Amino acid sequence: MGASATINGKEIFELLREDLAALEQEFERDTVSGVRAITEIGEYLRAGGGKRIRPTLLLLSAKLLGYQGRGAVRLGAVVEIIHTATLVHDDIIDEAKTRRGRPAANTQWGNSQCVLAGDWLYMQAFKIAVQERNFRILDTLIELTQQMVEGELLQMQTLGKLITLDEHFDLIYRKTACLFSVCMRLGAILGGATAEQEEALGRYGRDLGMAFQIVDDVLDLTASEDVLGKPVASDLREGKVTMAVIHALERCAPEERAKIESILREQAFNGTTHAQILEILQRYESLEAATARAARYAESARKAICTFPDSEIKRALLWAPDFVVAREK
């Protein structure tokens, strides 16, 4: 796909400037509660930033089909609130100390308050979604949240264990790609898409989400803590195997395998350094293999929307997979 057929990130921001500003206001309004702790936690999380990739996808999907109503901004806030709720719960489960370069919310307010704030955010998301008076939208969101909770539970059951690549891909679909897919499908539903169009846009979101998470997992191993905003190699330290590690485990020598297994089992770098693990991954070109798989998912995402007529919005969606694969944090 030539450069002339795509559009860059700055141009996407210009295309969506008003909608994204409205979405930020909606997000701010929707996370206010009569209970001060919920409002404070909501404001802290919102101020932490984030790329707003998920609501951006929903807005682009709806616009691709000519939708111009207020519902896209409202549902954009819904998916960002759901995403935020999952981050709160994830940080508690993972006992995370930092998130996006700042102390994680649970270090400020404690686990108990953050669990309940996360629950409140989930319920608030559904309360807003009900305003669309559309059962298909509610069904889609309910299925999404069930998949994400199942994904988190499955991950907890596999901590410290060796899993297959297929099991790993199922996990990252549930935890990440499912939400990307649903964002595209919600935009399609708002825009009155045909079943085939909704399927194509959902496939685009799924493949983009898979690419996003694989790159995220590679960056966890290779980026610096300053860039990531959290400790490097967090996944290994938490007992999670990701694609590059699975690739290396299938190829490495017994003593190398033992080093990786001990980190996963003990959930600590006892006697083995991060640099030694990187050396093993580089020896078997495992990081390159993961990046190549992410690039294949990105290309698959682009192909999923090839039948839609050319437009600025389509060009923005064609650019997004390149951004996801090339990002550094």
| Alpha-carbon separation of residue 48 from 13, 35, 262, 308 (angstroms) | 19, 21, 34, 35
What local confidence, expressed as pLDDT, does residue 42 receive? Answer: 94
224 located within any domain? yes
Q: What is the pLDDT of residue 2?
A: 41
The stretches of the chain forming alpha helices (DSSP H) are 9-30, 36-47, 53-64, 71-94, 105-109, 111-130, 135-158, 165-172, 178-190, 195-222, 225-228, 234-237, 243-249, 254-266, 274-283, 286-304, 312-326
pLDDT score, position 5: 58
Phi, psi angles (nearest 5°) of residue 110: 90, 160
Per the DSSP assignment, residues forming a β-bridge with 98 are: 103
Q: Is residue 82 part of a domain?
A: yes
Residue 143, domain member (yes or no): yes
Segments forming the whole domain that contains residue 237: 7-326
Low-confidence winner among 100-104, 115-119, 124-128, 303-307 (lowest mean pLDDT):
100-104
Domain assignment of residue 278, yes or no: yes
Residue 144, pLDDT > 70, answer: yes
Write the DSSP string, 282-319. Answer: HHTTHHHHHHHHHHHHHHHHHHHTTTSPP-HHHHHHHH
Residue 187 · residue 198 · CB < 8 Å? no
Structural domains of the chain, count: 1
**Could you tell me if residue 1 is inside a domain?**
no
Task: Report the predicted TM-score, pTM, of the whole model to 2 decimal places.
Answer: 0.94
- Given a contact cutoff of 8 angstroms between Cβ atoms, the answer to whether 319 and 56 are in contact is no
Q: Does residue 2 fall inside a structural domain?
A: no
Q: What is the pLDDT of residues 16-38, one digit of tens each?
A: 999 999 999 999 999 999 999 99
- pLDDT of res. 226: 80
pLDDT digits (tens, 9 = 90+) for 254-293: 999 999 999 999 999 988 999 999 999 999 999 999 999 9
What is the mean predicted confidence (pLDDT) over 113-133?
Answer: 97
pLDDT at position 321: 96
Radius of gyration over alpha carbons of the chain, in Å?
20
Tell me if 176 is assigned to some domain.
Answer: yes
In this structure, what CATH number is given to the domain that contains residue 108? 1.10.600.10
Three-state DSSP class for residue 99: strand
Give the mean model confidence (pLDDT) for residues 44-49: 89
State what percent of residues in the chain have pLDDT above 70: 98
Query: How high is the pLDDT of residue 6?
Result: 66
What is the rounded CA–CA span in Å between residue 231 and residue 267?
14
Residue with tokens 């999952």: 86
Tell me the pLDDT band of 46, cut-offs 50, 70 and 90.
Answer: very high
Average pLDDT for residues 93-102, to the nearest whole number? Answer: 89
pLDDT of the residue at 124: 97
